Amino acid sequence: MLKPTTCCAVFLALFLSSRPTLAQWNEELYAAASIPTDLLKNAHDVVRREVIDFEVKNLREGVLRHHKIVTLLTSDSDASKLFVPYDKDTRVEKMTAKLYDAQGKLIRKLERDEITDNAAVDGFSIYNDARYKYVELHHPLLPYTVEFEVELSLKGIYYAVFPDWEIQQYHNAVQFSQFNISLPAQLRFYHQMLNIELGPAQTTQTPDVRSYSWTVTNLPAIREEPYSPPPSEVLPTLLCSPHEFQLGNYIGSMASWKDYGAFMNSLYARRDVLPAALAEEVKQIAAQHGDTPAKIAALYQYMQRKVRYVSVQLGIGGWQPFDATYVSENSYGDCKALTNFMKAILSAVGIEAWPALIKAGELDYEVKEGFTYPSFNHVILYVPEADIWLECTSNTAPPNYLGSGSLDRNVLLVTPQGGRLARTPASLPEHNVGTGLTHIRVEPDGKAAIQYKGQFTGELHEDLRYMSTYASAEEKERWLRSSSALPACNLQGFVQQASPAKPEASMSYQAEALRYASRAGKRMFIPVNVVNPFRDLPPRSTERKQPIVLADAYTEMDTFIFSLPAAFAVESYMQEAFSLESSFGSYQLRMEKSDEVIRVYRYLQLRPARLPAEEYEAFRRFFVEVAKCDGQKIVCIQQP
């Protein structure tokens, strides 16, 4: 499991290992033929033997040793690549690799000059001090076996998030894997086993050191399936957290969310004081607005105008914000710094607000009560007295709107009394609504003039809001063409407008398509929906094991009004009315024919759902039918 920490990517993808005793070691481990047959099914590779050894030295540092022997069975395996992330505090002490052929004969050892060393580019930081070493071994004939040994001296953030034991990846069988952790007798740690029952650890104890050990053997590969639950609900993993740890001069604890939140609070403490002039300015703004929500909205918009998001991650700065003065002087900061800055603004007018640590984007692991495992990568701000959430890295979001990547999930509120979990607002189909009206005037030669107007709320409005501020005309046009099925056309007046106060936006465009309808002899075929046809069909999934998880939550309501050329009459269309209903979705398409026009009404709603594996085919069928219906054509024929 990756443990993203606050706002910066600190990935400790590796586990550690120690030398196994010679008695356990044996040459068969290198030969492909000795893999038990039941481990071959669905496997791209098989971990023959893996030992991870995490030795906690003290509150600040530990040593991670990882020894792994993997046999690659198919070219889809990535197991011949070794990626070792580190930073200024953490040292790579050892990194070796060996390559064996199918018979288990040593072919060669890695040479030092094969290792590349690079700055880790996370794609959003102007600067971070994360680096990585990387190597890949090659062998032309599958199967073959690689052996890696890595030793890291962990310190700083890389230490504070204890390494986990990712027992299995998708399509990865495990013959033997062991995880050992040892700590000085006065230190403790917490752990949680996911998706596997292993029972208690083997423990040994000396007066100075306590050791824990878990072992798995012969785990068959797990197939990756579309629309699955997140990996943390499928793949066997052991998560670990320290009881106490030290980061720079700060001592923290993961004994509870309360304690961890208190530690985070200490990192934020006394950094939320605005320069006097600025404090005065925000007080004046607040004074112009009546109730608390109005004050918050005005101050949030002030902050949005004043600063921008720039990410710089250095050492403890991965977790600790730049102070409010720095942000006010530079007018930039990362999510921590901007959240802290907004907190300072509110604080200056007497409104208390709390930073909330969150895992934004895909929720591969969701934090829960009962186990303090800080899987976060972002910070937002919560104002308790008004129950308002603020995304402080956006210059365009309306007040109290969290983007689709932050809604409906547990977060850790960092309060002066310590941490506590809370939940961001849910995203429901009625929050994310698109309503469109399209006029399509078709000419006898198949040419059409299209006029579109639509309103969007919630998640559906986000792209439009972003584009209205940031996108060039070309980017906008590209977006429209990829999000619709408009044929080649001459686009005029593509306009987006976002509401400053609410999560709403509208868009409109006019287009002239030379070949909207295809002609064949005296007939003309008019596509019903080129505006938002459903095209994202679930792939097939046979022998399904995992439950189906549908995260989509939206509602689309469209009206298409077709004006036909005088000489044409409708010959046929599929059905007057078509409707589909299931637990996770509804779809209706209805045609109405009058003398001058054909009206088509379309309704699609998808609702978040979790369904049993055996319903996958029916689940897929729903979307196939929707796609087919959206893709149909009205057939017209020229009157003699």
Partner 1 sequence: MGCPPRLWAGSDEKWPTASAGVGLSTLMAAQMCVGLSPSGSGAAIPFLSLTRNILLLLLVASTGSLAAQDQDFRWGRIAAEDLAMTTYEADTTAGAIVLSDVADLRFNVINGDIFYDFIRHKRLKILKRSGFEEADIAIPYYGDEKLSSLKAQLILPNGERTSVEREDFFEETYNNGYVKVKKFTFPNLQEGAVLEYQYQIKSPYLFELREWYFQSDIPIRWSEYRLAIPIWYDYIVITQGPPYHIQEKEDGSMNANLPVTHLRYVMKDMPALKRESYITTMDDYLSRIRFQLHTVTYPGQLRESIMGTWAQAATKLTESLQFGQQYIRNANCKNIKALVPALIAGASTKAEQANRIYTFLNRTMKWNEEFGIFVDTDLDECFERKTGSGAELNLMLVAMLQEAGIKAYPLLTSTRDHGKMFDLYPMLDQFNHVMVLAELDDAKLEVFDAGNIFRPAGLPRMSALNGEGWALIPDSPQWVDLRAKEGYTQEVFKGRLDEEGNLIGSWRAKYDGYSAVLAREDLHSDSAEAYIRQQLETVSPDIIISNIAIQDQDTLTKPVILTADCTLNGVAQVNAEFMYLSPVINPPFTESPFKLEKRTYPVNIPYPSVSHHILQLQLPDGYQVAELPEKITLALPDRGMQLAFSAGAMGNMLTVTYKLEIKQLIYTPEQYEALREFFNICTQKLGEQIVLKRS
Interaction pattern, residues 556-585, with partner 1; x per rule: CB under 8 A: ---------------xxxx-----------
Cβ neighbours, 10 Å, residue 268: 21
Could you tell me the two tokens for 311? 């990410």
Indicate the residue among 396 and 582 with the shorter CB distance to partner 1: 396
CB of 129 to partner 1, least distance (A): 9
Window contacting partner 1 (CB under 8 A); options: 35-43, 107-115, 213-221, 354-362? 107-115
Per-state percent for the chain, helix, strand, coil, to nearest 5: 20, 40, 40
State the Cα torsion 611-612-616-622 to the nearest 10°: -30
> Does 474 interact with partner 1 (rule: CB under 8 A)?
yes
Indicate the residue among 80 and 415 with the shorter CB distance to partner 1: 80
Sheet holding 91-100, edge to edge: 106-109, 91-100, 144-155, 61-72, 45-56, 172-184, 209-219, 202-205
Could you tell me the two tokens for 13? 């993808």
Interaction pattern, residues 135-174, with partner 1; x per rule: CB under 8 A: -x-xxx----------------------------------
Indicate the residue among 207 and 521 with the shorter CB distance to partner 1: 521
- Cα–Cα distance for residue pair 401/459, rounded to 1 Å: 10
> Does 127 interact with partner 1 (rule: CB under 8 A)?
yes
- Residue 197, CA atoms < 13 Å, CB-side half-sphere: 0
CB of 195 to partner 1, least distance (A): 28
CB of 606 to partner 1, least distance (A): 17
Per CB under 8 A, the list member of 312, 316, 363, 580 interacting with partner 1 is 312
> Does 624 interact with partner 1 (rule: CB under 8 A)?
yes
- Residue 483, CA atoms < 13 Å, CB-side half-sphere: 10
Beta strands of 36-166 (E only): which ranges? 45-56, 61-72, 81-86, 91-100, 106-109, 116-119, 125-128, 131-136, 144-155, 165-166
CB of 407 to partner 1, least distance (A): 24
For residues 320 and 267, is the Cβ–Cβ distance under 8 A?
A: yes
Among candidate residues 191, 194, 188, 181, the one with its CA nearest the CA of residue 253: 188
Beta strands of 514-613 (E only): which ranges? 518-520, 523-527, 548-550, 554-563, 568-572, 577-581, 585-593, 597-606, 609-611
> Does 536 interact with partner 1 (rule: CB under 8 A)?
no
The neighbouring-strand residues paired with 145 are 71, 100
Work out the angle at residue 45's Cα, subtended by the Cα atoms of residues 39 and 50, and round it to the nearest 5 degrees: 85
> Does 473 interact with partner 1 (rule: CB under 8 A)?
yes
Indicate the residue among 245 and 466 with the shorter CB distance to partner 1: 466
Indicate the residue among 242 and 527 with the shorter CB distance to partner 1: 527
Per CB under 8 A, the list member of 471, 550, 561, 611 interacting with partner 1 is 471
> Does 62 interact with partner 1 (rule: CB under 8 A)?
no
* Beta carbons within 8 Å of 478's beta carbon, 6+ residues apart: none
Distances (CA, A) of 448 to 288, 305, 512, 598: 52, 42, 6, 14
For residues 216 and 193, is the Cβ–Cβ distance under 8 A?
A: no
CB of 488 to partner 1, least distance (A): 5
> Does 483 interact with partner 1 (rule: CB under 8 A)?
no
Per CB under 8 A, the list member of 75, 288, 594, 639 interacting with partner 1 is 75
Indicate the residue among 310 and 549 with the shorter CB distance to partner 1: 310
> Does 23 interact with partner 1 (rule: CB under 8 A)?
no
Pairing type for strands 165-166 and 131-136 reads unpaired
Among candidate residues 321, 313, 350, 351, the one with its CA nearest the CA of residue 338: 321
> Does 233 interact with partner 1 (rule: CB under 8 A)?
no
Per CB under 8 A, the list member of 310, 363, 428, 561 interacting with partner 1 is 310
> Does 132 interact with partner 1 (rule: CB under 8 A)?
no
> Does 525 interact with partner 1 (rule: CB under 8 A)?
yes
Could you tell me the two tokens for 415? 């309060």
State the Cα torsion 382-386-392-396 to the nearest 10°: 150
Per CB under 8 A, the list member of 501, 514, 567, 618 interacting with partner 1 is 514
Indicate the residue among 33 and 488 with the shorter CB distance to partner 1: 488
Tell me, by CB under 8 A, how many residues bind partner 1: 53
How many angstroms separate the most distant Cα atoms in the chain? Answer: 102
Indicate the residue among 25 and 127 with the shorter CB distance to partner 1: 127
Window contacting partner 1 (CB under 8 A); options: 273-281, 422-430, 480-488, 607-615? 480-488
CB of 474 to partner 1, least distance (A): 8
> Does 308 interact with partner 1 (rule: CB under 8 A)?
yes
> Does 490 interact with partner 1 (rule: CB under 8 A)?
yes
For residues 394 and 335, is the Cβ–Cβ distance under 8 A?
A: no
> Does 521 interact with partner 1 (rule: CB under 8 A)?
yes
Residues 314-373 that bind partner 1 (CB under 8 A): 329-332
Position 365: which residue type?
A: Y
Residues that bind partner 1 (CB under 8 A): 75, 108, 111, 113-114, 116-119, 126-127, 136, 138-140, 308, 310, 312, 329-332, 395, 469-474, 481, 487-488, 490, 514-515, 518-523, 525, 537, 571-574, 624, 627-628, 632-633, 635
